[in-house]
Amino acid sequence: MTKDVKLTRRDTYTVKTFLSDVKKLRLTPTALYTIGSEVLYSEWQEARKTYGDDDEVVAQINELLSFMQTDYERRLLEGDIRREADTPNATLSSFLKDTPIEFQSYVFHRPGEYIRGVLKAAKTIDEREIQRYERIEVGLRSQMETRKKDPNYWNQVRIVLWILGRYEDASDAFKKAKKFGWDKSKADIVGI
């Protein structure tokens, strides 16, 4: 089960406080997608209206939105994410550290209570998704004897363990998948 998360009540959010609260969650691909769609998309639209498409703040919100809506899941499925340094929290921290203060202090247009509500909903999504992946892991483990050398099996195990936050085990499963010939261009998983 996920840890008890305390989300700070805020009247407004800046990019920095938003990401600080986002990183308190488990951040499954579905939760990241929800947060991006429900919060960042509208902020990206507002920033475009206010500053124009060529503004650096607009570009950085768009980059963050892309990470949440598509890039994280795609990179996970393609095997590009396999080390603990690749976790969503680590990626968000690194992203924020590399941005200017103008971006970090950008104030969101949506009210704080709305954003906090989305984050609470994402926490519920995380909890349900973790439970589902725990059941999937049990099913995959029951197939281990018959699929010991199946590279797609080990890749499936890698993805499940990664989402469950067992990064070292996921890395080991990835090594086995590669050892048995896993190739992202031939993988049999198309979505999470």
- Residue written as token pair 């429900």: 38
Q: Distances in Å between the alpha carbon of 39 and those of 2, 36, 45, 113, 121?
A: 22, 6, 10, 12, 12
- Structural domain includes residue 40: yes
- For 148, phi then psi, to 5°, come to -55, -30
Q: Which among 88, 104, 98, 78 has a CA at the least distance from the CA of 183?
A: 78
Overall size of the chain counted in residues: 192
Q: Where are the alpha helices (DSSP H) in 4-40?
A: 15-22, 29-35
What are 142-156's pLDDT values in tens digits?
998 899 999 999 999
Question: In this structure, is residue 166 part of a structural domain?
Answer: yes
pLDDT of residue 163: 93
Whether residue 8 is contained in a domain is answered as: no
Contacts of residue 38, Cβ cutoff 8 Å, sequence gap at least 6: 118, 121
Query: Does residue 168 form part of some domain?
Result: yes
Taking CA atoms, 3 is separated from 90, 130, 187, in Å, by 18, 12, 33
Please report whether residue 192 resides in a domain: no
Give pTM, 2 decimals. 0.88
- Given pLDDT bands bounded at 50, 70 and 90, which one contains residue 173? very high
- Within a domain: 188: no
Q: State which residues form the domain around 24.
A: 15-181
Please state the φ and ψ torsions of residue 109, each to the nearest 5 degrees.
-80, -35
Count CB-CB contacts under 10 A for residue 160. Answer: 24
Cα distances from 54 to residues 17, 41, 59, 60, 100, in angstroms, run 24, 17, 7, 11, 16
Residue 191 is predicted with a pLDDT of 57
What is the DSSP code (8-state) at residue 70?
A: I
Mean pLDDT for the stretch of residues 178-184: 91
- Please state which of the ranges 27-41, 46-60, 74-88, 149-163 shows the lowest mean pLDDT: 74-88
Instruction: Confirm whether 9 is domain-assigned.
Output: no
Q: How many domains, the chain?
A: 1
pLDDT reported for residue 19? 96
Looking at residue 190, its pLDDT comes to 55
Question: How sure is the predictor about 1, in pLDDT bands with cuts at 50, 70 and 90?
Answer: very low
* 7 in a structural domain: no
- CB neighbourhood size of 51 (10 A): 15
pLDDT in tens, 79-137: 888 777 888 888 899 999 999 999 999 999 999 999 999 999 999 999 999 999 999 99
